[in-house]
Amino acid sequence: MLYLISGNDTEKSRKRFREILNSFQPEAGRPGAGSNINIFKINSDNFSAVEFNEFPKSQGLFSKKYLVACDNLLENEDAEKIIGEKIDEISESENIFVFLENSSSDTLKKLEKTAKKTETFKKEKKEEKRNSGFNIFSLSDALGEGDRKKLWVVYQKALRAGLEADFDVFWKFAWQLKMMMIAKASGERAEKAIAKLGIKPFVLTKARQYAKNYSEDGLKRLFGELMQIYHDVRRGKGDYELDVEKFVLNLPQKA
C-alpha cells in the first residue's frame, strides 16, 4: 500500500506526514492501531538498499505489518533507482509505505500514478519566496566547525523553518560525524569506505577540514551519543527535539 505526500510547501506537507505516522502510534498505556505495526523511518542519509529491498515482502515476528516512512528518498540516487524498479511491488505490498517528497522527478510522477492516495501541498509564489532560504547544510557546517553557540542558533532556525529534529537534523548530524570519522581515518579501510559510500572529493575535502576541530575519540564519542538518542527514542525513553538540543548544548568547543 502506497501513500504519497508531495509539494513545495514543506511545512504543511511535513505536518501531514507526521499526522499520518502519529495515527499509527498507540496511545500511551493503551493499545491502538500502532500496536500491530512496526514503524521504520528512512531518509536519504540513512537509506540502506539491502534493508529497503526487504520491506515490500517482509513482516515482523510480533506484528502484522510494517509502516515504512520514506522522507525525501528521491534525493538519494540509489534510493530513487530502487524505488523506480519496485513501485509495483511497493503498491501491492501488505505493508504500508508513506512517501514524503518535496522535489520533482520522473520517479515522483510514477509514484503519483501508482499511489493509493496522494496529497499535494503547494505554496503560493509570494509565500514561497518569503519562507525559502534556510540551508540545511548549515547544520552540518556548524557542527563541523565545533561552534556550540552557532550550532544552537542554526538548530533553532531549522526548527522554525519547519524542519524536524528526527528526520532532518538528527541524520544530518549523524552524516557529518560519519564523514569526519572517515576523513580522520587513514589507510586501506578508509579508502574502501570512501569508495563504497561514493564520497565526492569536495565533500571529503570539507570533512577533512572540519575533522581538524575534533579528536578521533571525540568524534566516536559524539557519534555514540547520537546513536544513544536514536535507541532511547525507539524504546520510548526520549524525545528527538529535546535530546538533540541537549546534544548541541553539551557539545565541547573542541571535542
Mean pLDDT over the full length of the chain = 83
154 and 139 assigned to the same domain: yes
Residues 6+ apart with CB under 8 A from 100: 5, 6, 13, 14, 17, 69, 70, 71, 72
Residue type at position 181: M
**255 within a domain of the structure (yes/no):** no
7 and 122 assigned to the same domain: yes
CATH number at residue 156: 1.20.272.10
182 and 213 assigned to the same domain: yes
For residue 126, what pLDDT is reported?
A: 47
Select from 127, 145, 167 the last residue of a domain: 127
Residues 6+ apart with CB under 8 A from 249: 148, 152
152 and 237 assigned to the same domain: yes
Select from 97, 127, 157 the last residue of a domain: 127
Domain range enclosing 50? 2-127
For residue 29, what pLDDT is reported?
A: 40
More reliable by pLDDT, 133 or 144: 144
CATH number at residue 118: 3.40.50.12060
Select from 127, 158, 183 the last residue of a domain: 127
147 and 206 assigned to the same domain: yes
23 and 84 assigned to the same domain: yes
117 and 148 assigned to the same domain: no
Measuring CA to CA, which residue among 207, 223, 101, 210 is closest to residue 170? 223
**254 within a domain of the structure (yes/no):** no
CA distances to 13, 54, 71, 105, 110 from 90, in Å: 21, 10, 15, 18, 12
185 and 115 assigned to the same domain: no
146 and 244 assigned to the same domain: yes
98 and 179 assigned to the same domain: no
Q: Which three cell numbers stand for residue 230?
A: 536514536
110 and 183 assigned to the same domain: no
Structural domain count, the chain = 2
Is the pLDDT at 65 greater than 60? The verdict is yes
DSSP assignments along 99-141, one per residue: EEE-S--HHHHHHHHH-SEEEE----HHHHHHH----THHHHH
What's the pLDDT tens digit per position in 98-136?
999 987 788 999 999 999 999 998 876 544 444 456 788
| pLDDT band at residue 26 under the 50/70/90 scheme | low
Mean pLDDT comparison of 119-128, 135-144, 159-168, highest-scoring range: 135-144
What's the pLDDT tens digit per position in 71-89?
989 888 889 999 999 999 9
Is the pLDDT at 232 greater than 50? The verdict is yes
166 and 236 assigned to the same domain: yes
For 142-168, what is the mean pLDDT?
88
Is the pLDDT at 254 greater than 60? The verdict is no
